[in-house]
Structure 1
Amino acid sequence: MAQDRSESLNPLEASRQPDEDLVARLPTREGWSTPLTLYDNCWLRSHMVSKFMLVRDDFKPRRDDIILATHPKSGTTWLKSLAFTISSRSRCTFADHPLLTSNPQRVVPFIGVPGTGGDLDHLDTLPSPRLLSTHLPLTLLPPTVSTVGCRVVYLCREPKDAFVSRWHFDNKIGTGAPISLEDAFDMFCQGCSPFGPFWDHHLQYWNESLARPQEVMFLRYEEIVSDPLKVVRNLACFLGVPFTEEEEKSGLAEQIVRFCSFDSLRNLDANKAGGGVERAGGKIFLEASSLFRKGKVGDWVNHMSKDMGEKMDLLVKDKFKGSGLEF
């Protein structure tokens, strides 16, 4: 008779094992580059569900943590680069900067994602203050994120542009037949996309930023594009490391903007094709260059029909009605 696997574990290890029967019973849907499973009203890549189930119970936020939260394809790589460069400027120079040799996704680990430095046991060993990242909605993070005092920076993007970026990205990392724009659009509008529905994701962090504005900063991708210098200065203040008068006189904020610009990051050897392969959970393989496409605001018009754009706009208007959040 087969032994129950939990019997071979000590009590702590057993308590940290996801309920595999529960995972198997959860709704699953094909269509994107990997299957998605619906857990707690959030669509997650099926091969990562068990890892993410542990985050809410086992991740231990610290008071001085900084968590960069994003919905996928909303400027995650850019935000990581800016936040890391701002917060580490006292110990890193531009000449020997970690981003010259490492992709931003590795420099700032994803909570609960093995292979990115985000394994929960490994995160416990990192010195404070920790700079971490997540695509998880607020409801899948520990409740103490909202009470212990850690700071959260949330970045979102205009949904039509985010969708187009999502579609391109999934077709780059997929190994099977590419998903058509029409099929991807239908699923996205139904809320079925990695870490979707996107409206729930945005609203959770938006409402948290209204309730705790000193601890939750809500940013739009378009703000970074239109005025990166202003965002860098505001971000430095929020992170508790504002630029000194001397740093302002030396033009350090402008240097950070240039160093972390989309074109600058894309042209670094660490982020070029063949310059390294990112791995997430053992199921997704991608060249670092796939994290950099265009980054243009309004690029959706080159891919989506006018009818698609209008449908998305109506959906967004309906989902965010009365929230104060507009796109």
Structure 2
Amino acid sequence: MASPPSLLPASEPSAGEDEESHREVYEQLRQLVSTYPTVPSGLDTPYHRHPDGWYTFLPAMVSVMVAQRHFTARDTDIIITTFPKCGTTWLKALLFATVHRDGGGGGGVEDDAALAQLRARNPHELVPFLEIQVYVRDRVPDLSSLPAPRLLATHIPRPSLPASIAASGCKVVYICRDPKDCLVSLWHFHDAQRPEPRGDVGEEFRLFCDGVSPVGSYWDHVLAYWRWHVERPGQVLFMTYEELSADTLGQLRRLAEFVGRPFTGEERAARVDEAIVKACSFESLAGAEVNRSGTVELMEEPMRNAEFFRRGVVGGWPNYLSLEMATRIDEITESKFKGSGLVLPTMMTM
């Protein structure tokens, strides 16, 4: 049985590509980004400020700019867009399993090729990031020969997305999360990368509230994609981590319908959708051997797959944030989203 295709480019450019010109593109952009203002990131290297107003590390910003110039979206593409630590890994698994499902080819759901892939490979290998996996290592890979639908992901803020994504009419799936839980998850993720872990979340909290994080302001990021969803609901699906957690099956069916792969009556009767929910659960993904011991390359560095599976719960922030911190974040959220029509599930009791 054929395996679903991988979108990760080969280590070396394919024949006919001008490697030298690609290196020159990257080097010119590295020089340009090095002139941008910087702010402390709380990690070893500072964030650089993009002209569109957001921050990230220099290599990732260069990759964003290369993607802006060279990525040509197709109308059959499906792009996951997220702010970091808002359920990206889970959504990648659900999307991959849904789009590439084959029901086991007569051998039963347990023999489904996509689910087999998820047992063998981390979701970030199956649905790679444009800016930290595809356009890296001075590469400008040719993605034109890859079969449809191409599944890709990005953390790029809406104003800086490659223009071809909006112009193509391809499907965009956005997921956000309670900013308090997002902050805590981001802090843990960064802490795991520090030589000496920090004892409290205070510095990360201050930066987060100031809009200084791997892709700038959480609130600006979410709001821009929300407005795009309101303007073009047929192109942009807006989801929340809390809704996905509370009704995973219902949200999976909504996702499948949106990307043009709705579950048939026969599939529902055979519980294909339920099998995907189970296979993509936190427990199943975290327990897979590849995610317990394997690595995935992000921004040219290997990262342990286990770092993407900490707890996966809703509402864990009270264990790390003071009431004053939580109140401050809720106040910013209410102020930023006022008048937009966007109400996150965790805001409903404010």
Contact 1:172 1:286 in 2 (8 A): no
Task: Call closer, same or farther: CA 1:115–1:32 in 2, change over 3 Å.
Answer: farther
1:4 aligned partner: none
Matched, 1:113 2:132: yes
Amino acid at match of 1:38: R
Q: Distance in 2 between matches of 1:57 and 1:49?
A: 13
Amino acid at match of 1:35: P
Give the CA deviation at 1:281.
1.5
Q: Distance in 1 between matches of 2:255 and 2:317?
A: 28
* Matched residue SS, 2:340: coil
* Matched residue SS, 1:79: helix
Contact 2:92 2:124 in 1 (8 A): yes
Q: Distance in 2 between matches of 1:150 and 1:115?
A: 18
* Matched residue SS, 2:175: strand
Contact 2:122 2:291 in 1 (8 A): yes
Q: Deviations over 1:221-253 (max 9, x none)?
A: 001100001011111101101111110111111
1:90 aligned partner: 102
Q: 306-315 or 93-102: which moved more?
A: 93-102
Contact 1:137 1:201 in 2 (8 A): yes
Q: Distance in 2 between matches of 1:117 and 1:127?
A: 22
Q: Given the two structures, how large is their TM-score scaled by the length of structure 2?
A: 0.84
CA RMSD of aligned residues (A): 2.2
Amino acid at match of 2:297: R
Matched, 1:280 2:298: yes
Sequence identity (%): 37
Contact 1:115 1:281 in 2 (8 A): no
Q: Distance in 1 between matches of 2:218 and 2:156?
A: 11
Q: Distance in 2 between matches of 1:25 and 1:77?
A: 33
Task: Call closer, same or farther: CA 1:213–1:294 in 2, change over 3 Å.
Answer: same
Task: Call closer, same or farther: CA 1:251–1:114 in 2, change over 3 Å.
Answer: closer
Task: Call closer, same or farther: CA 1:81–1:20 in 2, change over 3 Å.
Answer: closer
Matched, 1:203 2:223: yes
Q: Distance in 2 between matches of 1:116 and 1:19?
A: 13
| 1:90-169 mapped onto 2 (5 Å cutoff) | 90=102, 94-95=110-111, 96=113, 97-114=116-133, 120-169=140-189
Contact 1:236 1:242 in 2 (8 A): yes
Matched, 1:316 2:333: yes
Q: Distance in 2 between matches of 1:117 and 1:190?
A: 29
Q: Given the two structures, how large is their TM-score scaled by the length of structure 1?
A: 0.90
Contact 1:149 1:215 in 2 (8 A): yes
Q: Deviations over 1:105-137 (max 9, x none)?
A: 111111132379996415344222101111111
1:270 aligned partner: 290
Give the CA deviation at 1:37.
1.1
Task: Call closer, same or farther: CA 1:16–1:139 in 2, change over 3 Å.
Answer: same
User: Deviation above 4 Å: which 4+ runs of structure 1?
Assistant: 12-17, 115-120
Number of aligned residue pairs: give it: 316
Which of 30, 33, 36 matches 1:23?
33
2:257 aligned partner: 237
Matched, 1:188 2:208: yes
Amino acid at match of 1:28: T
Unpaired runs of 5+ in structure 2?
Answer: 1-18, 345-350
Matched, 1:43 2:40: no
